[in-house]
Amino acid sequence: MDLPEAGRLGILVGALLIMPLVTLVHELGHEVAAVTGRPETGDYLKGLGATQIVAREEIAETVKRPLESELWGGCVDAVGGAMLARVLGQMKYGASVAAVGLAGGAQLPATVVPFLLRGVNLLGIDSVMQPYDNFWVNGIPASTNPKRYDNIFIGGLEITRIIYKGWETIPSIINAIF
């Protein structure tokens, strides 16, 4: 599989939920559009590497057409639901979307049109069957860290990294998505 060239515009839906990816995608040479429902975090997300801030309302708006203009070269979506359905119709030909969360709901009110006419790929993650010992928090195996979630703050004060052992493979995965 050929990896896409750097510089593609990708979208991160639920950017505050997946903040480390904003920086990582930016450092890999891609432009990042960060979707947030908190406009006051726009400068913070730009500081992490976002080149564009998209208001949640723009993506959450329901449309009747299954396809819209091709906007995004890749997507990591932590929200799901209607926002994921909307983004699927905005993906460029052959682009991939990694669904990593369902903060907006588990339903996917979409059609198969983006998959049939644009070859869009919807990728999932294995958040159930992975052994707990594969996850690390601040460099310590999660299974040995009883306070693993005590210092996670959304909004930028402090972020506890939850890192899968295969972290070194993440850049190649991001490049495959974007």
Mean pLDDT by 10 residues, the chain (178 residues): 54 78 84 91 91 92 88 91 94 90 89 95 76 53 42 35 48 70
CA 158, CA 148: separation in Å to the nearest integer? 13
CATH of 9-126, one of 3.40.640.10, 3.40.190.10, 3.30.565.10, 3.40.50.720: 3.40.50.720
CA 100, CA 139: separation in Å to the nearest integer? 22
Quote the pLDDT of residue 165. 43
The pTM of the whole model exceeds 0.85: no
Number of neighbouring beta carbons within 10 Å of residue 136: 19
Q: Minimal CA–CA distance to 73: which of 98, 52, 94?
A: 94
Quote the pLDDT of residue 53. 93
Quote the pLDDT of residue 169. 57
Compute and round to an integer the Cα radius of gyration of the chain.
16
Neighbour-count burial for 20-46, b at 16+ CB within 10 Å, e otherwise: ebbebbbebebbbbbbbeeeebbebbb
CA 12, CA 15: separation in Å to the nearest integer? 5
Quote the pLDDT of residue 87. 94
